[in-house]
Structure 1
Amino acid sequence: MANAPLPQPRPLLRRLLENGTLIGLSDAELVDRYAATRDQETFAFLVTRHAPMVMAVCRGLLGTTADAEDAFQATFLVLLRRIGTFPVGPSLSGWLYRVARRVSRQAHRSEARRRRRELAFQPREAERECEFERSELLSLIRDEIELLPERYRAPIVLCDLGGMSREEAAALLRCPAGTVGGRLARARQRLRDRLVRRGLAPSLTALAATLAADTASAVPADLIHRTIGTATRLEAGRASLVGAISAEVAALMEGVKYPMLHAHWKSATAALLTVAVTSAWAFVRHAPIQPPSPPAHTTQALASKAPEAAKQPDATQVREPNVERFQLANGLKVIFQPIAEADQVALVVLYSVGENHDPAGRSGLGHMVEHLYLTAAAGDEKARTVEGVASRYPTGSNGQTGDRYTVLATTFPAKNLEAELKDAADRMSDLKITAADLDRERSRLLEEVANIFERSPALAALNHARELARPAPAGGRGGGLPEHVRAITVEEVTTHWRRYYKPRNAIIALAGAIDPKMASRAIKDHFAELPTGEAPPTPRKFGPLKPGATRELAIATFRSANEPIACLAYLAPRPGSELYAPFLVLISRLWAGMDKLGAGPAFPFPVYFTPLDDGTIVAVSAPAPHGETATQAFTRLEAFVAQTLGPELADRDLTAARAQLGPFLGLANVPTSMLARNPYGVAFSLGRREQLGLNSTQLDRELESVTDRDLRRAIDMVFSPKRHTAAFISPTK
């Protein structure tokens, strides 16, 4: 399992043990604290509190294997993405239990992993029978635990699986120890009664012993360190998992179908987890299969664009098997790909309308439409909150806005396809925006933009460097200047939606468990009669690039942010440019070498590039050691770029580029099982490649013909020290 350097976990754990202010807090209080401060120690405390229970669940199904450790990490990284987006009682134990179960089941279903375990350990027949009987009993017990009401599930999860005493559980649940004891006894009795109905009759003592056996093994300290370290880096750089976690952990996060809407990586964004991010000003909330980077503008972050770079997928050219396309008379383009092993469907609606299409030249209108598109009333559906959207789509939803595009996406069971297509058609034709909707989303948008520009050095450095490299039109700001956002009216946002968010500017991409004939019929039924809409207005031009421009700021930050961050931003070539193929090889080199930049509590994902979002910026960031000036930090980053990009072209460069970029640029054959775990990534990638006019076959030929001379030219034209902008952001004292 590959892991980037960790931010000195042992001192962190020592601080946690010495931090008496956290010990007495309930999980709900810790979640509120973390949502407000993004304090790494608060999240680390949640991990250490629930680690024994989560590990017990993972080992119960997977045994003492690397798979169990992968499932353990994935469970807490799911929590990191989702924290603050769902209601929390006194304890998170029930929620974590369910997620750990789902992650472990996903790992258990992996045929490759089963084969690996069978080769690594072949027990005697009697041992296999004994282990099978025990695992079957434990599986039945855990199934029944998941069905218990929360008041009974929490005590049994905390005490019998988490190894807590009744007094410890009582302190966490905010009730007397006697109450915990009573609920624990009733929970065990309920479990026994349910098992009896299944033909088993364990005594209560045997039942408790069976559960307790799962807690016998301690959680490896190194595993806790790695999990906390990974979470720290992801929270600092928001949603880029590439290089931070193994492909196995990323795949588990993809496959578990956890709720992905409006997760609190708002201050950063969201990669892996991974496409993580958004380009110029995209707020990503759900992640397709895409390596990249730390997001920059995100209202929700999902999950994961999980590139399985470590697995090195076949780098032969993909011919988009089973992909079908058609276009309706009103201009709506449709593209879909059935996936044999999928049990979910991803519906992605993409518009060629974005942040730069406000006729008045303001910033923020595009993002406001995106917010309201997801939450306002439409057709027969009433207005809904962010939490309501998350509840409706527990396997994921996403909204993001770039400079010149908008994406709205949901994932759901295949049986709901007809109803979801109707809802999508209603949101394209019958959206009912009210003043209450606008007020609600205005405050959310203002908060999100403040988070990424003013409260985290990591995000502020990235976004200010980007603003210098690609200034927002008319002096605006990605996501919206506060004065622009506050001035938007219901009439303006309604008119903008009514004119442009229509079929002629839209692509519908579907992937997953779909029947092509049924999907085609349903799309025609619901969308064919919708009005065409107007062509989008001419996008506002970006401000002039000022190579060498720098910006130094001190900002009031989240309490956990304590290091200055330096960032260099470069303009990336567009797909179709003669520089694009060699540029992708250089990006692959930067990703491979980014561990050299070091790591720290506020360190973002060091190399930021998101090819399927706007893809116009490359950013390289690193924390500044104590005493290092802005000029010294910029010089150090320039040296890293020069040294990493300097070697002559080798065959391995092309192999690495295809492996890292192939799954989302259409350059590699991805196993069906991987596609089935992430239908959103498939649909998003299909839709964005269509929008961008990205020809995968042509790009593959261009990569094959890249020469060392091409690399030298791309270095000079893109990564020359004279071509970047820079930002140095430090927390106020």
Structure 2
Amino acid sequence: MPRLTRRTTLAAAAALAAAPAAAQAQAQAPAASPAATPPDRPLFGAKQWQLSNGLRVVLAENRRAPVVAQYLFYAAGGAEDPAGRSGVAHFLEHMMFKGSPNVANGEFSRRVAREGGNDNAFTSRDVTAYFQQVEASRLPLIMRMEADRFAAAIIPADQVESERNVVLEERRQRTDSSARARFQEAFRAALWGPQTWPGRPIIGWEDEIRAITRDDMAAFYDRFYAPHNATLVVSGAVDEATLRALAEEHYGRVPARPGAARDRARAPSAPHEARLVRREPTAREALLIQAWIAPSLTAGETRHALPLEVFAHLLGSGQGSRLHAALVETGLAVSAGASYDGEAAGETEFMVYAVPRRGVEPERLEAAVNATIATLLQDGPTEAEVARARRQLSSGALLALDGFGAAPRMLGGVLAIGLPAEVVEFWPARLRAVTRAQVTEAARAVLAAPRHTTGWLLPEAA
């Protein structure tokens, strides 16, 4: 499942914010004056408290519509899979829908659907989360059912094999059937190593999915699905007093129990492979990916995390970015971009990609990418580029306020990896404080270091 964090939640909104100004993207517009900057205030004004069993509860009240969203985050994802059993966290996510003492197999989703709501779950590298969206008066129903499987999921042994087939089919459809998806999976393994926690696929390697047992999933559940390792985030039309009473009534009954926190090996300090070239007969177009091992908000030089977000935006986020100007506008590539997400439990990566225009030699495109990055590292970005990146990113944050699922995803994502809610609540203010010098320093610290992997996906005839 895709990794869902503040940055990925805001990416689309930031793109929308930038779109009206696309025609002026190359203009060297000055930064907004301090007088035009709105006073700093939290994006969501969320309130949080803790139950006696250790469960953290967060409320982001929102009266725009008479609906609520409930998200339950566990601080364990694919990176917590035991050695040789990649895919356990994701497989368990599937099995959590197989019933609990008071909710029969499949009944959870059926009851939510009957109420006109929807529910689902996702597993990322760092978290597993279960969520529902319903009319506000039905909040007690979804809290009661979620608390029931939190306290005592059944994980029926007679359902394991049929669900294993579902997981394997999911892998076939999302990864094995796509040349690009297979390449991206192999690239991540080349960067980090195929058996390291950052290098394993969240869904798991096929042979390891086939080896997962019910005992593996039960052990993962017992180890990580404990109240002190979970965060409940509710957003929508509910007040604090009501939520406090409901949380105590339903989740307060989940017994506290010992459980393990994250205990990962240190991420590799150097790439597993410096270069990866894959030729695929089913690939329709070539793809270049370069990735550097990078710090995050929780590991390494954490002060570089926010400047790296700004750098990724000005380097490769749509029209007006350096890569678009150097590659797309010159006819070398049909698309190009950069990405970085500092909200990770441990080291992360800074990534650049480009799709060459048909007939452009891979060596020529790669040289152009490297030259663009080298120029930026040598001279640094302009003040106007940094200001534009800050404006577009913070505009995305404000637009995200209108998204119903934004608050719980953003808040739950940071809290579940050990970061404070202020990382989300005051992100625009922190972003405005990023300077050109900080962006230049962070870019040089990461992209000038020999800690990267270059990968090419090439059509068979290339």
For normalisation by structure 2, the TM-score amounts to: 0.79
Aligned residue for 2:17?
309
- Cα 1:387–1:479 shift into 2, 3 Å: same
Counterpart contact for 1:378–1:431, Cα < 8 Å = yes
> How far apart are the structure 1 equivalents of 2:435 and 2:263?
38
CA distance in structure 1 between the aligned counterparts of 2:309 and 2:456, rounded to whole angstroms = 27
CA contact (8 A) 2:185 2:201 kept: no
SS of aligned partner of 2:297? coil
Cα distance in 1 for partners of 2:6, 2:160 equals 26
Return the letter of the residue paired with 1:345. V
1:607 is aligned to 2:338: yes
Counterpart mapping for 1:315-330 below 5 A: 317-320=40-43, 322-330=45-53
Which one of 54, 57, 71 corresponds to residue 348 of structure 1?
71
Alignment CA distance shift 1:287-1:712 (3 Å)? closer
Given the superposition, is the C-alpha separation of residues 445 and 328 from structure 1 closer, same or farther in structure 2, using an over 3 Å criterion?
same
Q: Which residue of 1 aligns with 2:450?
A: 722
| Residue equivalent to 2:404 | 679
Please report the RMSD computed on the Cα atoms of aligned residues, expressed in angstroms: 3.7
Structure 1 position 586, deviation (Å): 0.3
Q: 1:635 aligns with which of 357, 367, 384?
A: 367
Q: Aligned equivalents of 2:6 and 2:427: distance in 1?
A: 23
- Select between 341-350 and 534-543 the one with higher mean Cα deviation: 534-543
Give, as a single letter, the amino acid of the residue that structure 1 aligns with 2:58.
I
**Secondary structure of 1:507's partner?**
strand
2:317 aligned residue: 591
Quick one: structure 1 residues 387 and 459, their matched pair in 2 at CA, closer, same or farther if it must change by over 3 Å?
Answer: farther
Equivalent residue letter for 2:214: V
Contact 1:471–1:545 (CA<8 Å) still a contact in 2? no
Q: Contact (CA 8 Å) 2:99, 2:106: kept in 1 or not?
A: yes
Residue 582 of structure 1 aligns to a residue whose secondary structure is: helix
Q: After the TM superposition, which residues 430-449 of structure 1 pair with which residues of structure 2 at under 5 Å, given as runs?
A: 430-449=152-171
- Between the aligned partners of 1:631 and 1:393, the Cα distance in structure 2 is 56
Shift of 1:420: 0.4
Tell me the equivalent position of 1:536: 261
Letter in 2 for 1:511: S
- In structure 2, the gaps of 5 or more residues are 22-35
Greater strand share, structure number: 2
Pair 1:449–1:495, CA change in 2 (3 A): same
Higher alpha-carbon Rg: 1
**Structure 1 residue 581 displacement after superposition:** 2.7
- Is 1:405 paired with 2:405? no
- For 2:390, the equivalent position in structure 1 comes to 657
CA distance in 2, matches of 1:591, 1:381: 45
Give 3-state SS (helix, strand or coil) of 2:317's partner.
Answer: helix
1:336 positional shift: 0.8
Matching of residue 488 in structure 1 with residue 217 in structure 2: no
Give, in whole Å, the separation in 1 of the partners of 2:338 and 2:75: 27
Contact 1:332-1:506 within 8 A present in 2 as well: yes
Deviation, structure 1 residue 362: 2.8
- 1:705: how far off? 4.7
Change (3 A) 1:390 1:422: closer
**CA offset digits 1:648-681 (Å, max 9, x no partner):** 44156245325415655xxxxx37xx63x52211
CA apart distance, 1:505: 0.3
Q: Which has the higher contact order (CA 8 A, sep 6+)?
A: 2
**Which residue identity does 1:725 align to in structure 2?**
T
Amino acid of the residue matched to residue 290 of structure 1?
T
Distance apart, 1:566 and its partner CA: 1.3
Kindly state the Cα deviation for residue 524 of structure 1 after the two structures are TM-superposed. 0.6
Are the aligned partners of 2:334 and 2:356 in contact in 1 as well (CA < 8 Å)? Answer: no
Question: How far did 1:511 drift?
Answer: 0.7
Structure 1 position 699, deviation (Å): 6.1
Task: Report what 1:500 is aligned to.
Answer: 224
Query: Quick one: distance in 2 between partners of 1:452 and 1:603?
Result: 24
Question: Structure 1 residues 341 and 325 mapped into 2: Cα distance closer, same or farther (>3 Å)?
Answer: same
Sequence identity percentage = 21
Cα distance change of structure 1 residues 585 and 648 upon mapping to structure 2, 3 Å threshold: same
Query: Distance between the aligned counterparts of 2:382 and 2:148, measured in 1?
Result: 52
**Aligned partner of 2:56 among 333, 337, 346:** 333
1:567 aligns with 2:285: no
Shift of 1:370: 1.7
* Compared CA separation, residues 419 and 314, structure 1 to 2 (3 A): farther
Normalised by the size of structure 1, how large is the TM-score?
Answer: 0.52
| Structure-2 change in CA distance of 1:416 and 1:680 (3 Å) | same
Q: Secondary structure at the match of 1:623?
A: strand
Number of residue pairs matched by the alignment: 428
- The residue aligned with 1:381 is 103
Give the CA deviation at 1:425: 0.4
Deviation at 1:691, TM superposition (A): 2.8
Aligned equivalents of 1:411 and 1:702: distance in 2? 31
